[in-house]
Amino acid sequence: MKRFLGSNRLRTAIFISGTGSNFKNLVRFSLSKNAPIKINLVISNNSKAKGLVFAKQKKIKNKIYRFKNVNKDEKNILNILKKNNIKLICLAGFMKILSKNFIKKFQGKILNVHPSLLPKYKGLNTHKRVLSNNDKFSGCTIHFVNSKLDSGEIILQKKVKVKKNDTPKTLSKRILKQEHILYPKAIKKILVNL
């Protein structure tokens, strides 16, 4: 297996919208021994995203694009990605939908974390829907991003048992813990072939 050391680490951008716990976790992962990625850039559509505070503390370059004018913002993002020689994009709680054109430019190089066992429960409010259907299991998925929402090739999934008294909040908390384990694993899995 190829080792990604020092400057060989793949230059990566993380896209966030909110808390950024997956982002923080990926930064931690990127600083670990033999990590295959380096986080060079954070993009947020929300200037109040907590993750931005962390990015600033860690002195990671960060930019805000509100996606009010999607075409213009995506064009600017593509420019900044190019300038920073970014080779991999990890969406981490990013709540905007990227255009087909954007995805095409980074075909096979955009990953996403989704809090359900895809193809079940694409889109929003996954935990609520899992509970109202009385499902016994839920979980999380790391997948490649293609032009259809939450439909790209699955890299890894982790099942999480639904408990009797779960609320969307308690279930999402347990699943989030698994997301933090799964995302680095999935990155390691695919980078051998990138």
- Considering just the CA atoms, what is the radius of gyration of the chain in Å? 16
CB of 171 to ligand GRF, least distance (A): 11
Q: Between 1 and 124, whose beta carbon lies closer to ligand GRF?
A: 124
CB of 83 to ligand GRF, least distance (A): 25
Strands of the sheet with 10-16, listed across from one edge: 62-64, 37-44, 10-16, 88-91, 110-114, 137-144, 154-161
Active site residue 127: no
Q: How far apart are CA 30 and CA 9, in angstroms?
A: 9
CB of 13 to ligand GRF, least distance (A): 15
Q: Between 4 and 146, whose beta carbon lies closer to ligand GRF?
A: 146
Q: Per-residue string for binding with ligand GRF, 13-32, x by CB under 6 A?
A: -----xxxxx----------
Q: Between 10 and 118, whose beta carbon lies closer to ligand GRF?
A: 118
Q: How far apart are CA 182 and CA 39, in angstroms?
A: 17
Catalytic residue among 114, 127, 143, 180: 114
Listed residue (77, 71, 67, 8) closest to 37, CA to CA: 8
Residues that bind ligand GRF (CB under 6 A): 18-22, 92-93, 113-115, 176, 179
